[in-house]
Amino acid sequence: MTAMVLDGILPAERAVRSGPPHPLGNDGSWRVYPRTEQEIRDLLTHADREGLQVTVSGGGTKRGFGGQRKRYDLEISLAEYKGVIEHRAGDLTMTVHAGTPIRELAEVLAAHGQMLPADPRWPGSATIGGVIAANDTGPKRLAYGAPRDFVIGVRAATPDGRILRTGGKVVKNVAGYDMNKLWIGSMGTLGILLEVTVKLRPLPPDRGLLLIGFPAGAQGEIQTYVNRLQASSLEPVALEVLNPSLSARMAGWERDTLAIAFEDRPEAVTYQLERAEAERSGMTESVVMRGREAEDWWMRFAEITPDATASIDPERPLISAKVALKNTDVAAFVGKATEQAVQRKLEAFVHGGAGHGISRVYVRGEQEPVLHYLQVLRTFVEKRRGSLVSDQMPLSWRKHFDVWGYQRIPRSLMEGIKQSFDPNRTLNHQRYAGGI
């Protein structure tokens, strides 16, 4: 590493020797902070040439996601590789460095009455590159879509020194296979994202949030209500089911809750809130929030997840899992996950998108009962052709639990793609499903 600094790749103050290994793993013996594309390229090619194992980080929010390595030789942090490169406000597009935090990007765009159509977890720390690499989404995926829907161009560095460009800087730029999608969810195993071009949306003039509390065990009633809502002319941007323990934290009552969000002109938001209120039964209770109050609620919601940048309790850490199911199975899954947690005396916050099918489980307890709990849930969802992936778990626990589970991926094809981008397995080795 000393030779790397002396070679002139980085000044000494931007190369830091790490302390004790992080309990989540996936850090480096040395952490380096490049500020230019050339520095990133030189660091990566040096590591590839010298046989060094490299991991990549931004805000550090995805450190506990995947991987069996306690430590890599080198951690390339993009924390100082951030900022807006180009903003075409009239075209609703923006190109940014991959290390730009989501919240910083949102603040820049808000000044122009625009927004990035994404609501990932921990937006103050999560970077645009990390969100894309981990395919991170939030409750408003129902209206916003996933990263594959807003990424229109990527620039990346591979270990052999190539700079690859996919897509472009205008919305309609793809003919044939959309190569941008290779990078989305790739967990940093193909190359280091340098720049990302995204398509934007106008900032909504108003926001509304309706919280409906249902009687205990009313998953069937919740699904019936959601079906009526989706069959109507209303256009919610989120339909999120919360279990009682999470509702107690976010809504002030301990019962199953449906959070319904609307974003539009004030008169349209008012109309939709009133229509949604009229559809609920007399056995439910509700709370309505508007404007800044609704926005603040969702900002707090984005931070209920485990914080990988904070200290980790090694005995009783908060574990995170992402579940993909048919959207019509979400209410039943939230009920099942809650019931199983109560039986095992585990603390579990559970929520799921009744419109898009992605659920989250955050569970705290001792290792054996927590891992058994996750396996029971995985069996439940895989019988329904779904999947459960743990996207934050300490390394010592990951040794005893396959965080990816059964993945319907063409293994030989994925191995071939990895071979063409990173034949020496330099980047994030074994972070992807199947040990790729």
pLDDT of residue 357: 97
pLDDT in tens, 95-110: 999 999 999 999 999 9
**Mean pLDDT to the nearest integer, 356-373:** 97
Residue range(s) of every CATH 3.30.43.10 domain in the chain: 2-79+422-435
Q: Which residue reads 């003919």 in tokens?
A: 175
Q: Is the pLDDT of residue 1 over 70?
A: no
Q: Is the pLDDT of residue 342 over 70?
A: yes
pTM higher than 0.85 for the full model?
yes
Q: Is the pLDDT of residue 3 over 90?
A: no
pLDDT in tens, 305-331: 999 999 888 889 999 999 999 999 999
Nearest to 307 by CA among 252, 242, 362, 369: 362
Torsion angles phi and psi, residue 172, rounded to 5: -100, 90
Q: Is the pLDDT of residue 239 over 70?
A: yes
Instruction: Provide the residue count of the chain.
Output: 436
pLDDT in tens, 183-235: 999 999 999 999 999 999 999 999 999 999 999 889 999 999 999 999 999 99
Q: For domain 84-202, is the CATH number 3.30.465.10?
A: yes
Q: Is the pLDDT of residue 304 over 80?
A: yes
Under the banding of pLDDT at 50, 70 and 90, the label for residue 178 is: confident
Residue range(s) of every CATH 3.30.465.10 domain in the chain: 84-202
pLDDT in tens, 52-70: 999 999 999 999 999 999 9
**Mean pLDDT to the nearest integer, 71-93:** 97
pLDDT of residue 381: 97
Architecture of the domain defined by 318-398: 2-Layer Sandwich (3.30)
pLDDT of residue 386: 96
Q: Is the pLDDT of residue 268 over 80?
A: yes
Tokens at 337, concatenated: 């996950």
Give the whole-angstrom CA distance, residue 104 versus residue 413. Answer: 37
Angle of helix 367-382 relative to helix 330-343, nearest 10 degrees, comes to 150
Residue range(s) of every CATH 3.30.70.2190 domain in the chain: 206-290
- Long-range pairs for 4-13: beta carbons < 8 A, 24 or more residues apart: 4/43, 4/46, 7/46, 9/39, 9/42, 9/43, 9/46, 10/34, 10/39, 10/43
Torsion angles phi and psi, residue 44, rounded to 5: -70, -45
Whether 68 contacts 26, CB under 8 Å:
no
Under the banding of pLDDT at 50, 70 and 90, the label for residue 176 is: low
Architecture of the domain defined by 2-79+422-435: 2-Layer Sandwich (3.30)
When the pLDDT of each residue in the chain is averaged and rounded to a whole number, the result is 94
Whether 93 contacts 44, CB under 8 Å:
no
Q: Which residue reads 């009229």 in tokens?
A: 278
Nearest to 183 by CA among 237, 262, 129: 129
Q: Is the pLDDT of residue 11 over 60?
A: yes
**Mean pLDDT to the nearest integer, 123-134:** 97
Under the banding of pLDDT at 50, 70 and 90, the label for residue 173 is: low
Give the whole-angstrom CA distance, residue 91 versus residue 73. Answer: 42
Which CATH class name applies to 206-290?
Answer: alpha beta
* Choice between 178 and 234, residue whose per-residue pLDDT is larger: 234
Q: Which residue reads 């249902």 in tokens?
A: 214
Residue range(s) of every CATH 3.30.70.260 domain in the chain: 318-398
374's CB contacts (< 8 A; 6+ apart) are: 319, 321, 361, 363, 388, 390, 401
Per-residue burial over 52-74, b if 16 or more Cβ lie within 10 Å, else e, is bbbbbbbbbbbbbbbbebebbbb
Residue-wise DSSP of 260-314: EEEEE-HHHHHHHHHHHHHHS-TT-EEEEEEHHHHHHHHHHHTTSS--TTS---S
**Mean pLDDT to the nearest integer, 1-12:** 72
Residue-wise DSSP of 82-142: -SEEEEEGGGTEEEEETT-BHHHHHHHHHTTTEE-S---SSTTT-BHHHHHHHT---TTHH
